[in-house]
Amino acid sequence: MADALGVWRRLVGAQIRSQLQYRASFALDVAGAFLISFLDFFAILIVFHNVPRLGTWNVHQVALLYAISMISFALTDLVIGHLDLLPQKVRDGTFDLVLVRPRSTLLQIAALDFQLRRLGKAVQGAIVLAYALSGAGIHWTAARVLMLVLTIPVGIVIFGAVWVAGSCIAFWTVDGGEFTNAFTYGGNFLTEYPVDLYSRWARRLLAYVVPLAFVAYFPALYILGKPDPLGLPRALEFSGPAAAAAACVGAAATWRFAVRRYRSAGG
């Protein structure tokens, strides 16, 4: 495992070096990613400009959801966002090369096309987090701080698992990219808002099937000391790590199954 991380670091390091060769263009990329992602948050601010509350949630509370979701998603994107290139690799057969090397296929894909500029979105999330914490009136306890700190890695793992599982569609259909996006970018969007706003079936889906409610909603309830408007069991607020682990197991199994369906390309 440590060795695998070492290889990842080296592969990624090599790419960062070559990206930093063009400093000006790199700086513009980061700034662009940073600014564009702010538009999302402006949309939320505009909503609250017209209504004081969404359900039981005020603007700072929604900002907390948004920030947790955005930071987790941006860091996931940084680490495995290049899974978006998978459909192309499967279609043109260059996935072959990944398979003839003695390393995990996922590790290699993760180290394939590392784009440091994706960090821009995480920075934006951190700024929104500061805004949220400044006005949410949280009664800080050690447990709540711990929950906030733990929420980010749990979120990364859940988003990552959803991303990996969703990408597997590439092994069945030639153009599954949009399907995958519905889960990844769509999932990011869904988790930025309070889950209790959604219809019943969507809530069930997010809590029990694609466990995105564990990214921001349940931990935010705990951090804010807010009773669950849905009256779901309180234990769910602490189940993030378990949900993340389950999501990983599911994603890994899906991935292994999918890779065996790989058909390469002629030539």
Shortest Å distance, C-beta 105 to another protein:
9
Binding test (CB under 8 A) with another protein, winner from 49, 53, 91, 101: 101
- Cα 66 to the chain's mean position, in Å? 12
> DSSP labels for 73-88?
HHHHHHHHGGGGGHHH
Nearer to another protein, 15 or 58 (CB): 15
Is residue 234 close enough to count as binding another protein by CB under 8 A?
A: no
Gap between the Cα atoms of 158 and 150, Å rounded: 12
x/- string (CB under 8 A) for another protein, residues 165-204?
----------------------------------------
Is residue 250 close enough to count as binding another protein by CB under 8 A?
A: no
Is residue 126 close enough to count as binding another protein by CB under 8 A?
A: no
Q: Are 69 and 216 in contact (CB under 8 A)?
A: yes
Binding test (CB under 8 A) with another protein, winner from 52, 231, 233, 266: 266
Task: Please report where in the chains the tokens 């004081």 appear, as a residue.
Answer: 52
Nearer to another protein, 231 or 267 (CB): 267
Sole window of 5-13, 152-160, 184-192, 206-214 interacting with another protein (rule: CB under 8 A)? 5-13
Count CA within 13 A, CB hemisphere, residue 64: 27
x/- string (CB under 8 A) for another protein, residues 64-93?
-----------------------------x
> DSSP labels for 209-265?
IS-GGGTTHHHHHHHHTPPPTT---GGGGG-HHHHHHHHHHHHHHHHHHHHTT----
Q: Are 230 and 196 in contact (CB under 8 A)?
A: yes
Look at residues 73, 45, 42, 74 and name the one whose alpha carbon lies nearest to residue 59: 45
Q: Are 69 and 215 in contact (CB under 8 A)?
A: yes
**What single-letter amino acid sits at 251?**
A
Is residue 3 close enough to count as binding another protein by CB under 8 A?
A: yes
Shortest Å distance, C-beta 162 to another protein:
25
For residue 41, give both structure tokens.
């948050």
Total interface residues for another protein by CB under 8 A: 24
Is residue 16 close enough to count as binding another protein by CB under 8 A?
A: no
Gap between the Cα atoms of 130 and 135, Å rounded: 9
Is residue 231 close enough to count as binding another protein by CB under 8 A?
A: no
Residues of this chain that bind another protein (CB under 8 A): 3, 6-7, 10-11, 14-15, 18, 93-94, 96-97, 99-104, 260, 262-264, 266-267
